[in-house]
Amino acid sequence: MRPPVLLAVAAAVSLAACSRKDGDAKRAQPDAREVATPEVAASAAAVAVPSAPKQCEHGVLADQCTRCNPDLVAVFKELGDWCDQHGVPESQCLKCNPKLRFDAPVVKAAGAPAEPWCKEHAAPEAKCTKCNPKLIAKFIAAGDFCREHGYPESVCPYCHPEKVKAAGHELPAFPEPGTKVRLASAETERKAGIETVRAESRPFARSIEVVGQLQFDQNRLSRLSARGEARVTEVKVDIGDAVKRGQPLVVLSSGPVGGAQSRLAAGKARLEAAQAAREREQALLASGISSRRDVEQAGTEAAAAKAEQDAARAELRAAGAGDAGSGGRYALTAPFDGTVVAREAAVGRAVGQGDILVEVADLRTVWAVLDVPEEQASAVRPGQRVTLRVEGSGEVREGRVCRVAAAVDPQTRAVRVRVDLPNRDGALRGGAFVRATIELAAPRAAVLVPRGAVQRAQGHEFVFVRTGPGQYEPVSVQLGSRTADAVEVAGGLAAGTEIVTTGAFLLKTEILKDSIGAGCADGH
């Protein structure tokens, strides 16, 4: 339903009606629009209603009464604000909504008074289906009804909280004050499986919960790849194998490597011959048989042979091959003690530069890389205690923040935080997802409740307090930090209060029966 007629429109129609009643008396007077200055006109537009609104004999605002001003009927009907049953605007129908009041309208900037407001339910009184359930059928027929929350869609305070704020009001309290749930008997309570605990006060550290992923220690992870075109001729290891530093992992065959190996062998032979010739010339020079020039020439030959050998050796190392090997065959070896964590090599496979064949990792330490939302990252610092729970296995480990990234990830808007975890038993695996609790401050006394006790509905969080046998009362709470199984209650609940854990969701459905339809039951 569209909003009721604005006062400016009503006043315009009322003025037209009055002018017809006054007849010539009005025409004898000068037209105010002809003599008013722009300043006066602007002032008149800003003040569209009198400061002290008057009621007519029918109990509504005099300038909006359709009985005093019949010309307003068409205007209200055009705006969809009309009660056909009682012949008055819906926004003025006291029979449909006895709680309506017209003694204190609120003036809007445009000059229109705000509708009388139901503060209890944060909706205009004329459209409050909580106070007047008879209106529900009408709004449903008009296609203006929020089944999730039980209000007209156009004024639903939960779907449109901005309208409540603009009207200067707050969202309705939930659960409503005085709400209670009573079970028929102790047997009903037992069959419902209701279980309770007492809220406890104990030391609790302010913390945040984040998610992340385990990674191999990137400082002890090696991805061995081909550095040129080659073919795999032998694979000596598989995933999970423990390897030692220098151990051959994959054997490759490469034409360019074969050429370098040949040049290395030739260089070695030439160097050996040149060194022998230099030593012989030096001996002949000492005997006076050879000249110094012959000795120098032999030295030059030896230096050239060594340069050729060094060039061939450098070429082999660039290809990932060592000095050993011939015929173009060479092996990729483990750079340190570790475990094979990935293998792509297969015998006969042709590979090119950069193709990764084997990955070796030192599993004695793994990294937990956590994503901390940027709005919380400023509170995270190296040295803070972290408790991690590995998804799937349920493994729980403790560590401390080691590194905090200096930049925010542009994709996730999160800051990367690293925790180093000992892993000598090998139970932690790379790629596993983790949930982490980062303690931001020293422990302090706090009231804690199990996470399952806290329910959420219509923008509010609450717990059920047991007030007697089979009697429960929903109590709104303000929550603080959370752990994997507990929530800090920052306000609304005292330590020692008996609250419901198992069965809390069932009790919530009892207080939401009027609006359980499309998704109100969003408990934790």
As annotated, the residues of the chain forming the CATH 2.40.30.170 domain(s) are: 207-218+362-439
Architecture in CATH for domain 255-326: Orthogonal Bundle (1.10)
Q: Give the CATH fold of the 181-202+444-511 domain.
A: 2.40.420
When computed from its CA atoms, the radius of gyration of the chain, rounded to whole angstroms, is 43
DSSP, collapsed to helix, strand or coil, labels residue 76 as helix
Q: What is the pLDDT of residues 26-47, one digit of tens each?
A: 444 444 333 333 443 333 333 3
Overall average pLDDT of the 104-114 stretch: 44
Contact 332, 233 (CB under 8 A): no
Overall average pLDDT of the 346-375 stretch: 94
Q: What is the pLDDT of residues 177-209, one digit of tens each?
A: 778 888 888 888 888 889 999 999 988 888 889
> What CATH number belongs to 207-218+362-439?
2.40.30.170
Q: What is the pLDDT of residues 284-324, one digit of tens each?
A: 777 777 777 877 787 887 888 788 777 777 777 666 666 66
Overall average pLDDT of the 370-378 stretch: 94
In this predicted model, which residue has the larger pLDDT, 371 or 11?
Answer: 371
Peptide bond into 175 cis (omega under 30): yes
Contact 78, 68 (CB under 8 A): no
| Measured distance CA(438)–CA(384) in Å, rounded | 7
- As a dihedral over the C-alpha atoms of residue 96, residue 100, residue 103, residue 109, rounded to 10 degrees, the angle is -100
pLDDT-derived band at 259, boundaries 50, 70, 90: low
Q: Which amino acid is at 16?
A: A
Phi, psi values for residue 282, rounded to 5°: -65, -40
Which residues touch 272 (CB under 8 Å, ≥6 apart)? Answer: none
* pTM assigned to the model: 0.49
Is 53's pLDDT higher than 70?
no
